[in-house]
Amino acid sequence: MKGQAKFITAMLIFGSIGIFVKNINLSSSEIALLRGTIGSIFLVIASLFFKQRLSFHAIKDNVVLLIFSGSAIGFNWIFLFEAFRFTTIGNATVSYYFAPVFVMALAPIVLKEKLTPVKIGSIIVAMIGLFLIVNNGGSTTGGSYNHPVGIFYGLLAAGLYASVVLMNKFIKNLSGFETTLIQLLVASIVLLPYVYIKEGLDFSGLDRHSVVFILILGMIHTGLAYFLYFVSLKDLKGQTIAVLSYIDPISAVVMAAILLGENMSPIQIVGGFLILGSTFFSEKLETIRLQREI
């Protein structure tokens, strides 16, 4: 499988996460714990099978960042899964893709990057898109939603994901695969006492139906998808990665509409386009600007 095909497969897998989470009869924190545990075991086995050696010296040097970023990933999942419960997959996914906007806004403070007019414009456009989504309920068939609460959870998840992106900028001498493996292990370790205190680790809602879906979520949506993602990165250019990444949210909305009957209103579609389009065109225009400066 070529790099582009691997990356597209990973994006399509990520895009279907909401479908599976909605069919698991467990709390969001329990799902997150099981996802991290199964996914990290999968990646450990993959690292042994493909002889991916871990640099323990580099891990030691980055241990603080790995602990904080791994913890952020764990709670990022919890908030995202809560978003799926309170609103449609489309709303949750689009609000979650506000993460690049958070990164753009915080990069000048954290990374000392220049906040260009293009980035400022992108942030403003994304804010308008978010306003349109929050103030217009989506049309759904069946079920009851609290869209503002769900979108709020989606934004919390986006904020935590943005923090992981920024922290990863400071991690040195570790490959993306190594970083992700350690972060998943940390997420599982951190979530274990949290779930014990909050839920009691009884997993009382884990029926046969949920077992199948949680195994798929852990092995396919976490282990396999992350593996395909990082293996494909070395074969793709940055601009190609940026463009293909939008397969994730678009496929999520399409699958939710086909399989769950969840539809976004016309105004919300415009809002989603503004959010996704603002980050896409920001990356595109920034690339052109940098090329001109060389």
- Mean pLDDT, range 252-258, rounded to an integer: 89
pLDDT score of 145: 81
3-class SS string, 225-257: HHHHHHHHHCCCCHHHHHHHCCHHHHHHHHHHH
- The answer to whether residue 205 scores a pLDDT higher than 70 is yes
Q: Quick one: pLDDT at residue 140?
A: 46
Read off the tokens for 101.
């906007």
User: What values do phi and psi take at 139, rounded to 5?
Assistant: -90, 125
Q: What average pLDDT does the segment 5-22 reach?
A: 92
pTM assigned to the model: 0.88
pLDDT computed for residue 20 by the predictor: 93
pLDDT of residue 272: 87
- Output 50 or 78, whichever has higher pLDDT: 78
Q: In the numeric block, which tokens belong to residue 115?
A: 């906040």
Return the minimum-mean-pLDDT range out of 54-63, 141-150, 165-174. 141-150
Q: Does 255 score more than 60 pLDDT?
A: yes
As a whole number, the mean pLDDT across the chain is 87
Q: Can you give the pLDDT at residue 142?
A: 45
Residues 279, 224: Cα–Cα separation, whole Å: 27
Backbone angles phi, psi at 265, to 5 degrees: -70, 160
Mean of the pLDDT values across residues 239-255? 84
Please report, as a single letter, which amino acid is at residue 259: L
Token reading at 4: 């582009």
- Specify the pLDDT at position 144: 73
Do the Cβ atoms of 93 and 252 come closer than 8 Å? Answer: yes
Give tens-digit pLDDT for 102-145.
Answer: 888 888 888 888 878 888 888 888 889 888 887 765 444 445 78
Distance CA 105, CA 122 (A): 10
- Region 209-217: mean pLDDT is 92
